[in-house]
Amino acid sequence: MLSAALLWRARRRAPRLGEALDVDGVPLNYIDRGSGPPVVFLHGAKGSVYDATLSVGPELARLYRFVAIDRPGSGYSGRAPHHNGAPTVQADLIDAALQRLGVERPVLVGHSTGAAVALALALAHPARVAAVVTLGGYFFSARGEGAHPGRILNIPVLGPLLQATIVVPLGLTLAPLVLRHVFAPGRVDEPYARVATSLAVRPGHLAADSAEIADVEQGLRKLAPRYGELGVPIVAVHGLADGVVSSGQSVRLCQLAPRCELVLVDDAGHQPHFTRPEIVLEAVATAWRRAAGAAPSLPPARV
């Protein structure tokens, strides 16, 4: 009963934001605002379109055609039937959605695991991507191949029992600590904290998240050897104080991808779109200039 009551309260805080588009039987939730050159935002793990709309989204919508999509299995989007978390699977679904929406050659902005999805899309369909901006990107598998403890939530009978009793209250209790870690050294954005917590603790999504971790890690192990094939311009933004994903991941990416520009940000953590929005907006502008051939590849910048 406690779990159900807390879940009801949480759902009121994060109403659906966007419209649904059916892509190969998978409902994808998206928002589409503004006009001009298209910019598509792909959130990270346990995120949603709120990651953009509560940070750089309004300014992007003022300057560009701004599209944000709940990645499959996240927010209010449905799950793909197989290997839902794999970057290539998600990239194919998102590419199909963008074609349906008439979004041509966008700059893809990917945060954390969303950055790997953006690169997967650029590898699979390079002619349909103008450039990529990554924010705290997670590009290389950092986990072993063993089972993740969260998979216990997918065990019949036991998993649902845990979700109905202790998992949701525990998740709500730990969420403030997790968010402080994610935003550090910056301050937690409180409106985002309420929404993100509400979406993350839904029992079905907790189980789905644990099941997808293996898909993500396996997908990254297959994707990483191909980063040298990336032909589109990339601007890789990474906070040097990121305690979630090491900035070394972006450094390594730019050593492999031939048109990658590295931007390392002092005193920034894993949420630069919230804590350093001006740098993210400049990265998008730089990506458009480089896509047009107006700017050469630069040595690593530190701001």
Burial class of 66 by CB neighbour count within 10 A (0 to 12, 13 to 18, 19+)? buried
Residue 209's pLDDT is what?
Answer: 65
- What's the average model confidence in pLDDT over 42-55? 96
Give me the amino acid identity at 212. E
In tens, the pLDDT along 190-239 reads 999 999 988 887 766 665 666 677 789 999 999 999 999 999 999 999 99
pTM metric for this prediction: 0.89
Q: Give the domain extent around 257.
A: 2-302
- % the chain with pLDDT above 90: 68
Domain count, the chain: 1
> Mean pLDDT over all residues of the chain?
87
Contacts of 95 (CB under 8 A, 6+ apart): 121, 124, 125, 128
pLDDT given for residue 35 in this prediction? 97
For residue 66, what are the β-bridge partners? 33, 39
Q: With 50 as the cut, is the pLDDT of residue 158 above it?
A: no
Q: Which long-range contacts (CB under 8 A, 24 or more apart) does 147-152 make?
A: 147/214, 148/210, 148/213, 148/214, 150/206, 150/209, 150/210, 150/213, 151/210, 151/211, 151/214, 152/210
CA atoms within 13 A on the CB side of 58: 3
- CATH number of the domain that residue 265 is part of: 3.40.50.1820
Dihedral angle at the C-alpha atoms of 186, 190, 195, 197, nearest 10 degrees? Answer: 70
The pLDDT tens digits for 56-115 are: 999 999 999 999 999 999 999 998 887 778 999 999 999 999 999 999 999 999 999 999
Pick from 293, 181, 158: nearest CA to 241? 181
Percent of the chain at pLDDT above 70?
80
Looking at residue 59, its pLDDT comes to 98
pLDDT: which is higher, 205 or 242: 242
Report how far apart, in Å, the C-alpha atoms of 21 and of each of 93, 97, 141, 256 are.
11, 7, 31, 35
pLDDT at 146: 41
Q: Mind listing the pLDDT tens digit for each residue in 113-156?
A: 999 999 999 999 999 999 999 999 999 998 644 444 444 444 44
Q: In 3-state terms, the chain is what percent helix, strand and coil (to 5)?
A: 50, 15, 35
